[in-house]
Every structure is written in C-alpha cells, then in structure tokens.
Amino acid sequence: MQSPTSGSPHGASFPAGTGPATVEGAPSVRSRISWGAIFAGAVIALAIGLMLNVLGAAVGATLVDATSRQTPDASSFGIGAGIWLLVANLIGLAVGGYAAARLSGTADGTDGTLHGFAVWAATFLVSAVLLGNLVAGVGATAANGVAGVVGSLGRGAGSLVSGIGEQAANRTSTSSIQSATQSVIDRAQNALSGGGGDPAAMNSDQRKAEIGTLVGRRITDGNLSQGDRDRLNALVAAEYNISPQDAQARVQGAEQQAQQAMQQAEERARQAADAAAKGASVASFSVFATMLLGLIAAVLGSRLGTRALVAARGGR
C-alpha cells in the first residue's frame, strides 16, 4: 500500500503532490533596496542643488549695479530667483535619482523607480529639517539681539534716570518736590470731584474729565443714553463756549468720524486677513508643485539609471 506522504532527502515527509513547506512569516524574496545607494543619491542631489543655488546667487549679485541705477526691480529678482531655485532642485533630484538607481545595481524598472522615490523623499525631508533649523536659528539670533538691545536700553535708561535723579536732588529741595506732587494730586481730585454738576460752574479740568468718561462709555458700550448724550452736549458747549446746537453738531461729527475710522480699520483688517489667506494658499500650491516636479525629475533620473538586461556574452 502506497503511503500518502513522500519522503525527502532529510527525512522530512510532505503531503503527496506538494513541495517543501516554508516557515510562516519567512520572506519569500530577498530585500532589493540599497540604502547606501539612496543615501548617496540624496547627498548628490543636495550637493548639486546647493552648488547651483550658489551659482544663481552669484549671477544675481552681478546684476546689481547701484552706480548706473539699472538694477532690476525686486519683483523681477524674486521671479528669477524662484525659477532658478526650481530648476536647480530639479537638476539635483534628477542626477540623484540616476545615481541611486545606478548604484543599487538593479535591472528592474520598478526597483529603480522606487529608489528614485526614496531619494526624492530623503532629499525633501533633509531640506525641511535644514530649513527649519535655519529659521529657528534666525529667530533665536533676532530674539537675542532684541534682548540685548532692550537690556542696553534698560541699562542706559537706568543710568539716565539715576543721573537725572541726582541732578534733581541737588537742585531741588524736599519741600518743593512735595509741593509739586501735592499740586498734581489736588488738580486730579478737583477734576474728578465735579462730575454731575452744572457744566458752567465746573472748571475746564472737571469738564474734560467728565467728557472723557462719557466718550469712553460711548466707545465701550457702542451708544449713549439720551441723558448721557444731553450731558455730553452741555459739557462740550460749556467747555468750548459754543451754543448747544453747535455742541450737538460737533459731538455728532466726532461720532461719525470715529465710526468711519473704525469701519476703515475693520476693512483694512479684513483685507489684510484676505491677503494673508491668499498668500498662504499660493505658497502651499507652490510648494506642492515644486515637490511634484521634483518627484517627476527623480523618477525620470532613476529610470535612466536603471541597468539594462544584456546578453550573456557581455554587460554594461
């Protein structure tokens, strides 16, 4: 009777009609990625991009001619710099993708393309890290500079105040300083103590103090009650010695001017926000387009760098 299993040279038996089994989870094919080739391609892409950007900066500097005043304007410089930056990165990524696919030794087009993908991703990640560090460094330098300037100003102000204090102490007596301080306090109390009285019987400081209170209430609350409005008109009429009708017209004119100023400020704020949103949108689309074009350049370079299959008698 024939056994349902067949033997193997090593003594293992397998079900009839099947080959040797493999361990579950074991890889069926060997890894075909070359990280060394990817690293080399990314380094080459970064180096070529940097070299071409330095060349572009040198060419741009030669176009500056301050003596003859024939220097291109800032917009032309910006457009030219953006185009050159894009071209430099595309050339670098194409060469990097070619080098990675070539150094990987693969003859499979898909494997070569994936090496180009990896070069593109590594290059942009490294560029993002370097750009982030550069921005952070510039920000830290600016913050340190501002802190130093503020510290210097503080020390200078302290020295100035100290010198003024010494001169004041030398040239004035304690009694005169106390008298001047008390005069200011009395004036402020006098201005605040006349609220609610007859505007004609109040002094100028008292009227101005109450006018300021009512105007502040108008700004914060958005409107005034009829009683507060009548009081404001009476204060303005007494302060500037004009008729109640002229005072009312002056108050209404000031309110209209303030309202127009607030509307203009709100409109400018909306325009600035809209411009910022459009700028962010344009910048995001530009970065996306740059990355997409860079990916295409890296893939094309890797396709050119993928080795070809040749006859057994020779090779490339």
Highest averaged pLDDT of the listed ranges 36-45, 184-193, 245-254: 36-45
**Between 187 and 241, the higher pLDDT residue:** 241
For the residues 4-25, what does the mean pLDDT come to? 50
For the residues 150-176, what does the mean pLDDT come to? 55
**Between 215 and 41, the higher pLDDT residue:** 41
Q: Does residue 151 surpass a pLDDT of 80? A: no
Given a contact cutoff of 8 angstroms between Cβ atoms, the answer to whether 299 and 95 are in contact is no
For the residues 253-276, what does the mean pLDDT come to? 86
Please state, in angstroms and rounded to a whole number, the distance separating the CA atoms of residues 316 and 312: 11
Given a contact cutoff of 8 angstroms between Cβ atoms, the answer to whether 89 and 294 are in contact is yes
pLDDT at position 229: 81
- 270-316: pLDDT as tens digits: 999 999 999 888 888 988 998 899 999 999 999 999 888 765 554 44
Given a contact cutoff of 8 angstroms between Cβ atoms, the answer to whether 239 and 208 are in contact is yes
pLDDT at position 299: 93
Q: What are phi and psi of 14, to 5 degrees?
A: -130, 155
Strand partners, 14: 6
State the chain's mean pLDDT as an integer: 75
pLDDT band of 43, cuts 50, 70, 90: very high
How crowded is residue 231: how many other Cβ atoms within 10 Å of its Cβ?
18
For the residues 160-172, what does the mean pLDDT come to? 55
Given a contact cutoff of 8 angstroms between Cβ atoms, the answer to whether 92 and 42 are in contact is no
Q: What string of DSSP letters covers the chain?
A: ---SEE--TTS--EETT------TT--SS-----HHHHHHHHHHHHHHHHHHHHHHHHHHHHT--TTTT-PPPHHHHHHHHHHHHHHHHHHHHHHHHHHHHHHHT---HHHHHHHHHHHHHHHHHHHHHHHHHHHHHHHHHHHHHHHHHHHHHHHHHHHHHHHHHHHHHHHS-HHHHHHHHHHHHHHHHHHHTTTTS-GGGS-HHHHHHHHHHHHHHHHHHSS--HHHHHHHHHHHHHHHT--HHHHHHHHHHHHHHHHHHHHHHHHHHHHHHHHHHHHHHHHHHHHHHHHHHHHHHHHHHHHHHSPPP--TT---
Given a contact cutoff of 8 angstroms between Cβ atoms, the answer to whether 89 and 49 are in contact is yes
For the residues 195-215, what does the mean pLDDT come to? 79
- 82-120: pLDDT as tens digits: 899 899 999 999 999 999 999 998 888 889 999 999 999
Q: Among candidates 268, 280, 243, 307, which has minimal Cα distance to 109?
A: 307
pTM: 0.56
**Between 2 and 106, the higher pLDDT residue:** 106
pLDDT band of 46, cuts 50, 70, 90: very high
Of 55-59, 71-75, 230-234, the poorest mean pLDDT is in: 71-75
